[in-house]
Structure 1
Amino acid sequence: MKRIIMTIIFFVSLNQALMSYSGDGINISGRVLDASTKEPLIGANIIIKMTNLGTATDINGYFEIKRIHVENPELIISMVGYQSIVFRLNDKNSENLTFELKPALIEMGSIVVTGTNTLHLYENTSVKTEIVPKKLIQQQSACNLAQALGLQTGVMVENDCNNCNFTQVRILGFDGKYSQILIDGDPVVSSLGGVYGLEHYPQEMIEQIEIVKGGGSSLYGGGAVAGTINMMTRRPAFNGIKIYYSGNSIDGTPDHQIGAIAEIVSDDNKSGFYVFGSTRDRGSYDRNGDGYSELGKLKNETVGFNGYIRPLENSELQLSFHRIVEDRRGGGDFDKPVHEASIAEWTNHEKWGGKLRWNQKVNASFEYKINYAFSILDRDSYYGGLPDDTPEAKLQALKYYGHSDNPLHTAGIQANYYLSGHIITAGVQYDYDKLIDKSVSSEAYYVDEIFRNIGVYLQDEISFDSEEHLQLVGGVRFDKHSALSDWIVSPRINAKVKLWDALNLRAGFTTGFKAPQIFDEDLHICGLEGTQRVIRNSAGLKEEKSYSYTFGAEFQDFVGDIPLLAGVTLFYTRLSGAYGEKFISSDGVIEYWERINSSGARVKGIEFDFGVKPLNKLEIRSGFTFKNNQYDDILEDYNTKEFLRTPDIFGYVRIAYDYSNKFSLFTAVKYTGSMYVPHEIAVDYQDNPIIEVNKSKEFFEIDFALNYKLNLIENLATEISLGIKNITDQYQEDLDFGVDRDPGYVYGPSSPRTVYLNLGFKL
């Protein structure tokens, strides 16, 4: 901590020595309005092009940037869901300006950072980025991160266990371990935290989600093989309080959630504070009436805050903290203690997380940040079953209780330099991940490991003209991981060519790697007949490397007065030393599997995106993925080269209709094609199960929602939402039955037909 404080003092002193804001400069001020309604736009972004300077509008749509020393600056005025404007200034037209933004598609106007770790407009970034804005999260009635990711091109969220509902996100068909999940750009979701982590983070925390596909190791380190998911937390923007209730009936099973947020921002915008909290209580759901859950019982409580202060001009100290407590249980015999149930999977998580970040803009050309983030996770668990009521069996069942500790820390320094069409980014990042896992009944499979990684990276974004008709992003990162003897080099290059100011061509080559450590599925023990399935790395396991190629074309503009988006992207990823699993042996109630390096694998395919707003109040958006995933060699235990649990075709269509300022409609159709799913069939309690691979059917999920806003009491805005998810009750038909079932044999929609009512109150 002393070193961190001394480092901050050094950089603050350096800033004061280098500060080049001499004299008065020019002041920029004005207001941003909706072009159709003439109402003020709250939180619109105003950025001075090719600098690190900018601000946002207040609750009345006003903004101000003082003492600017940039010759003939260009302003970029943007807002989520609106067409952005570029405006050139001079010292005679810099104050009391008025800008009117035209409504556009929901993604347009978003500011994204994940692709390059610098600020860019969604429609102008050289790295293709998928956006999940706050409005879309609310339209879906998504209560957490997992539910918010359901309507994105090339992205799927699946349930991998009927007992505990372990979820993972797949990008372009890759297992969840190949996707790196970030919180505000920090890699603080560990392997243990990722087992159930997608459901841990409530929607109150989330402001926007950014998804970048392909290798991202040149910026974020190991893990970004298939892609990167960056969950951006809520930043305080205005004063207000909101309380809401969400009541769900999952085919008759209750699921209730209550949440509250409060935020306050000082009059001079030099400090802000955002507090949030939520609680969720879901009952267990048994689809086929065999006494064992398809959805387990769940209780989740989350509290936290985000805040910032600006002690110096053009500086900011950000602080955040959250605490998550979750209790989940699946299996059967819910009226008994877990160790007396015939099958039970139970976990109790207590998670603390947060960050401390110092941002400093030394001048219009140079900025740096120093950041520290952490995640501390304690987990109590039980994975097992009681085969009979004998005293010996009951004594044995008590051995299935386990405990895991997982402190994770990350720290780094990054600097950005803006110079004549270049944005040069350089940084150093250090990660420390300690894991003590005793969730398996046998001490032979306990884990006590510390993984360290240091990464050094350099990137250059080049714009060859002021209109950004040609942009290149080149970068490289060097990583030294404690599980490997050699440094890993991860280069990348991306290019964007703008044609006719509306058509963007993008191409990229990116690389990623995955070090041989402990992965999320290793720490989820899926019980078959009370058996604990354990996966561990084989001796001498090497890193897995990926090489991704993408090429695409995208049109984003207005055709007349109609916003239109149309895009196509080709992708190909090659895995070298791809990780596979090999069955080794069984020892009583433990199945032992090893992870090995196979010869490799590849993924190839094409994506289509389409969006249109034919009426000012009607928006249609869709995305479809056609792909093929195969290993080079046949998987020994499954007798196939195909990637398992991932369809070759999937996609969505969503429609939003804002009939008025008070009444709106939302509907979505999600298609999941057939896929190959592994199935373990129990033969004898002590013998190896039979493993077969079945091909699933296809699914069409349909959601529909109504939303109405009204003022029941003066100064109290009320919002009511009524909806149905999975209207036609699409669900797996061949679920295993009884105590001998394979809880990992699960595919398709994670929830059956669900009716919900949401109530929100805002002061």
Structure 2
Amino acid sequence: MKTKLFSVALLFILSFFSTGVMSQTVKGKVYGVIGESKEFIDGATVVFTGTNIGTLTDEKGFFELENTDNYKSITVSMIGYESDTIEITSGKLIFVHLRSNLTTEQIEVEENRNSKFTGKEIIPTESLTLGEFKKAPSCDLAGCFGSSVTVESKTTDAIFKLKELKILGLDGQYSQILFDGIPIFSGLNAKYGMGSIPGSMLAAINISKGTNSVLQGAESMSGIINVIPRDFNSSEKVFLNLYMNDMLERQINLNTAHKFENWSTILSGHLTGEAMRMDYNRDGFLDAPLVYRNMIYNKWTYDSPAGNFKFELAGKYNSETKTGGEQSFNESSDKWSDDVYGQVIDFKIYDLYSKAGRTFENGDEIKFFAGFSRHDNNSYLGTLEYIATQNIFWTSGFYSWKINSDAKLNSGLSYRFDHLTENITMSESKIRSLLPKYENKEHFPGIFSELDYTNILKNLSLLAGVRVDFHNQYGTVVTPRGLLRYQLAENTLLRGSLGTAFRVPKVLIENMNVLSGSKDLLIANNLNPDKLVNFGITLTQDIKFDFIDGTLNLDFYRSDFSSRVISIYDREPGKVFVENLEGNSYSNVFQAEINVQTPLNFSFTGAYKFTDFILDHKGIKKNEPYVPKHQLVATISYATDENDFLVDLTTNWFGKRPLPSTKFNPPKYQFADFSEPYAVVNLQATKVWEMLEIYAGLENIFDVEQKNPIIAADDPFGPYFDTSFVYGPTTGREFYVGIRYKILR
């Protein structure tokens, strides 16, 4: 009833407000000029001159910034174009024209060393850009968040080192991952596909916590991670990145971009070669899986000569094989044997998506999106074979009415189809309580409307929306969401959000680390979908002194589950129970982050996060497993005046994590109820020339490693074998070197 009343209130707001007030917003469009042609630039960085306060342009080159601090100018930059500084003229739309430097057939590329910033839009969004990805090898998507306290990249199993991206302390399945704004990266893709997105192909990652826009669906429970791949405007003509670590894992990344009149394209490729078989901790198991991976991505973009129509078509293919287990495991001879334990994952991902948008003379817009993803997975997990196929199709279209210079109303339709088929074959020596086949088809059309009002009252902005989806299994799902932005003082900004979310769990995928061990997985009948209400408040304070410039962000978010599917690890020996929550579950998260730039060529980022995640089920109240209450992140970066030598030092400290009880195990396989605190320190140095960069680094300098990440590694076919008991680093110190080579346009 409360949800419906909230929805009615939001719809009333959408229809009521239609008049504007004086705006303090700087708005404009950024164009790229190559010869005599001109096109919108998507992903250009726009900041107030001399600060790190800024945003990125959208696919139409549009940007907007709140100028309550009375800045006099903005600086606009984009890889492949000359940067420009423009004076702010009150009340006028700013048109920025960035020119390619073609006089020497080269383009000078300068990257801001403070390449992580939180914009001042109504949705608090942390943006990681090209310079941030270069502060670490960023071998894949999961490796891009080393300096971010907002996203924790956590290992979930000790054999394949699969990772999840956690926001607000909630597990990775509660985070919605978008690829180029398209929500098809979920299920099997989110579990296994992190490696299919190498850091070298990315232009930016935008992270928003808590409640978000209703345009992409109802599934974003803890937040959204929008992964923006490079396109022609954000890439050199040729970019090559070669990488190798001390385990002799080799990676090759290649981007090439070209333009043909009104069409432009980028082609990205990635190849990973297997590492050596290593067992430094002498538990008999490989320290890292043997990985062979290849990926190819191609995107075509059409910009009309008039600049009022844009079309994009892109496809991505990924093939990957991972082998892990005991050091002597050989798939051809040891599969299904009870002598040598091993695991093999072989999967392929096919992605295709398109976007189209038209802008009319009165400022109205119409946009269409469509995406398809197919994932074929064949996994052998020691005593079990898992063969799965998932097909996802999503499409959406909406019309954007320009009410006045500060307000627009977006209304449209969407449709999502998700078909997952999972087949289980079990070893005769290890029979579990699983069915031989699971199949689930979801299809749910939806309708949505959202009001975006920049200055509804003086210093107050509103984003309010509601969507109604019609799920074939769970009926009508109403998702109301609202966000407010208020300028408290000249340098102080307050933002708040409130909304609901809905998702259908993928039980086997989300418990794959349990299937990798010996425990039985008992799945209750009639599982409910996950539902929650999320509330958040963010305070942003600009820091301004004569010699430093920075930003302080303070966040508090609360997530309350009204329905949740949970996994119980410690009710009975050798069993994991998956069932509906009977009670309540909530998380309270406080986060503080400061970003500072100094005139001494140093930049500093420091952050602290407190998480209180409680599970109260059937009268038993406890902390959510593996979620630390305290986390600290600090990054110090140095660059010479010429930006030809760079050093980055990053420290991640994690407090104690509550662990599942091991009281049913024999004494030698029992562990404490909490892990010990630990810190991981990474260092990288980069030497830069005009067309060449050489980098080298150490990850986990002090060789911090979890002891016994595999329980009962000495008895892998026994009843206590468990690969899911992972709370810390599962590999020790790692040295790597790499080369980046670029041919400039």
TM interval, short-chain normalised: 0.7 to 0.9
Distance 1:605 1:751 in 2: 29
Contact 2:237-2:742 at 8 Å conserved across structures: yes
The one of 747, 750, 754 aligned to 2:727: 747
Contact 1:216-1:511 at 8 Å conserved across structures: no
Residue 197 of structure 1 aligns to a residue whose secondary structure is helix
Contact 1:383-1:532 at 8 Å conserved across structures: no
Match of 2:453 in 1: 462
For residues 68-124 of structure 1, give each alpha carbon's deviation from its aligned partner in whole angstroms, at most 9, with x where no partner exists. Answer: xxxxxx9976448999866238999989999xx99794234xxxxxxxxxxxxx532
The one of 539, 545, 566 aligned to 2:525: 539
Match of 1:342 in 2: 340
Residue 438 of structure 1 aligns to a residue whose secondary structure is strand
Any residues of structure 2 matched to 1:591-630 within 5 Å, and which? 593-615=577-599, 617-630=601-614
**CA positional deviation for 1:145:** 0.4
Distance 2:508 2:212 in 1: 19
Match of 1:113 in 2: none
For residues 618-651 of structure 1, give each alpha carbon's deviation from its aligned partner in whole angstroms, at most 9, with x where no partner exists. Answer: 210121101211012368xxx6511001101112
Match of 1:451 in 2: 442
Code of the residue aligned with 1:199 in structure 2: it is G
Confirm whether residue 277 of structure 1 aligns to residue 269 of structure 2.
yes
**Normalising to structure 1: TM-score of the pair?**
0.79
Residue 153 of structure 1 aligns to a residue whose secondary structure is coil
Distance 2:548 2:204 in 1: 25
Any residues of structure 2 matched to 1:386-535 within 5 Å, and which? 400-420=384-404, 421-441=406-426, 444-464=435-455, 469-484=459-474, 486-518=475-507, 520-528=509-517, 531=518, 533-534=520-521
The one of 691, 694, 700 aligned to 1:720: 694
The one of 204, 209, 213 aligned to 1:208: 204
**CA positional deviation for 1:541:** 2.3
Confirm whether residue 175 of structure 1 aligns to residue 151 of structure 2.
no
Match of 2:121 in 1: 125
Contact 2:84-2:98 at 8 Å conserved across structures: no
For residues 586-616 of structure 1, give each alpha carbon's deviation from its aligned partner in whole angstroms, at most 9, with x where no partner exists. Answer: 99xx967333233221111311010111126
Code of the residue aligned with 1:292 in structure 2: it is F
Match of 1:88 in 2: 89
Match of 1:704 in 2: 683
> Structure 1 regions of 5+ residues with no counterpart?
1-26, 33-40, 58-73, 109-121, 386-399, 712-716
Match of 2:736 in 1: 756
For residues 217-247 of structure 1, give each alpha carbon's deviation from its aligned partner in whole angstroms, at most 9, with x where no partner exists. Answer: 7333243111111111112116511212111
Match of 1:16 in 2: none
Contact 1:154-1:624 at 8 Å conserved across structures: no
Could you say if the C-alpha distance between residues 616 and 516 of structure 1 is closer, same or farther in structure 2, counting changes exceeding 3 Å?
same
Could you say if the C-alpha distance between residues 507 and 84 of structure 1 is closer, same or farther in structure 2, counting changes exceeding 3 Å?
farther
Match of 1:66 in 2: none
**CA positional deviation for 1:29:** 9.7
Distance 1:632 1:597 in 2: 8
Distance 2:172 2:280 in 1: 26
Match of 1:68 in 2: none
Distance 1:564 1:206 in 2: 26
Task: Return 747-756 or 640-649, whichever deviates more.
Answer: 747-756
For residues 432-477 of structure 1, give each alpha carbon's deviation from its aligned partner in whole angstroms, at most 9, with x where no partner exists. Answer: 11111114427724112211122222111112279x8221111111
Match of 1:672 in 2: 654
Could you say if the C-alpha distance between residues 693 and 461 of structure 1 is closer, same or farther in structure 2, counting changes exceeding 3 Å?
farther
**CA positional deviation for 1:263:** 0.5
**CA positional deviation for 1:526:** 3.5
Contact 2:44-2:78 at 8 Å conserved across structures: no
Any residues of structure 2 matched to 1:269-418 within 5 Å, and which? 270-283=262-275, 284-311=277-304, 313=306, 314-332=308-326, 333-337=328-332, 338-339=334-335, 340=337, 342-385=340-383, 400-418=384-402
Distance 1:586 1:594 in 2: 13
Any residues of structure 2 matched to 1:181-200 within 5 Å, and which? 181-200=177-196
**CA positional deviation for 1:411:** 0.9
Contact 2:203-2:230 at 8 Å conserved across structures: yes
Distance 1:568 1:752 in 2: 33
Match of 1:388 in 2: none
Match of 2:226 in 1: 230
**CA positional deviation for 1:742:** 1.7
Match of 2:622 in 1: 641
Could you say if the C-alpha distance between residues 496 and 424 of structure 1 is closer, same or farther in structure 2, counting changes exceeding 3 Å?
same
**CA positional deviation for 1:566:** 0.8
Could you say if the C-alpha distance between residues 93 and 663 of structure 1 is closer, same or farther in structure 2, counting changes exceeding 3 Å?
closer
Distance 2:29 2:178 in 1: 34
Could you say if the C-alpha distance between residues 346 and 42 of structure 1 is closer, same or farther in structure 2, counting changes exceeding 3 Å?
closer
Could you say if the C-alpha distance between residues 757 and 90 of structure 1 is closer, same or farther in structure 2, counting changes exceeding 3 Å?
same
**CA positional deviation for 1:505:** 0.9
Residue 661 of structure 1 aligns to a residue whose secondary structure is coil
Contact 2:345-2:380 at 8 Å conserved across structures: yes
> Structure 2 regions of 5+ residues with no counterpart?
1-27, 34-41, 49-54, 64-71, 100-109
Contact 2:560-2:587 at 8 Å conserved across structures: yes
Could you say if the C-alpha distance between residues 43 and 187 of structure 1 is closer, same or farther in structure 2, counting changes exceeding 3 Å?
closer
Residue 598 of structure 2 aligns to a residue whose secondary structure is strand
Distance 1:83 1:672 in 2: 41
The one of 520, 534, 555 aligned to 1:569: 555
Distance 2:97 2:238 in 1: 31
**CA positional deviation for 1:350:** 0.8
Residue 198 of structure 1 aligns to a residue whose secondary structure is helix
Could you say if the C-alpha distance between residues 376 and 501 of structure 1 is closer, same or farther in structure 2, counting changes exceeding 3 Å?
same
**CA positional deviation for 1:365:** 1.6
Code of the residue aligned with 1:477 in structure 2: it is R
Distance 1:105 1:227 in 2: 23
Confirm whether residue 730 of structure 1 aligns to residue 724 of structure 2.
no
Contact 1:255-1:280 at 8 Å conserved across structures: yes
**CA positional deviation for 1:126:** 1.0
Residue 695 of structure 2 aligns to a residue whose secondary structure is strand
**CA positional deviation for 1:756:** 0.8
**CA positional deviation for 1:747:** 1.4
Could you say if the C-alpha distance between residues 30 and 156 of structure 1 is closer, same or farther in structure 2, counting changes exceeding 3 Å?
closer
Match of 2:632 in 1: 651
**CA positional deviation for 1:214:** 1.3
Code of the residue aligned with 1:124 in structure 2: it is K
**Normalising to structure 2: TM-score of the pair?**
0.80
Code of the residue aligned with 1:738 in structure 2: it is D
Confirm whether residue 142 of structure 1 aligns to residue 126 of structure 2.
no
| Overall identity of the aligned pairs, in % | 18
For residues 321-375 of structure 1, give each alpha carbon's deviation from its aligned partner in whole angstroms, at most 9, with x where no partner exists. Answer: 1110110121113345351463222110111112111111123521111111111
Could you say if the C-alpha distance between residues 86 and 124 of structure 1 is closer, same or farther in structure 2, counting changes exceeding 3 Å?
farther
How many residues in Structure 1 have an aligned counterpart in Structure 2? 658
Match of 1:579 in 2: 565
Match of 1:391 in 2: none
**CA positional deviation for 1:710:** 2.4
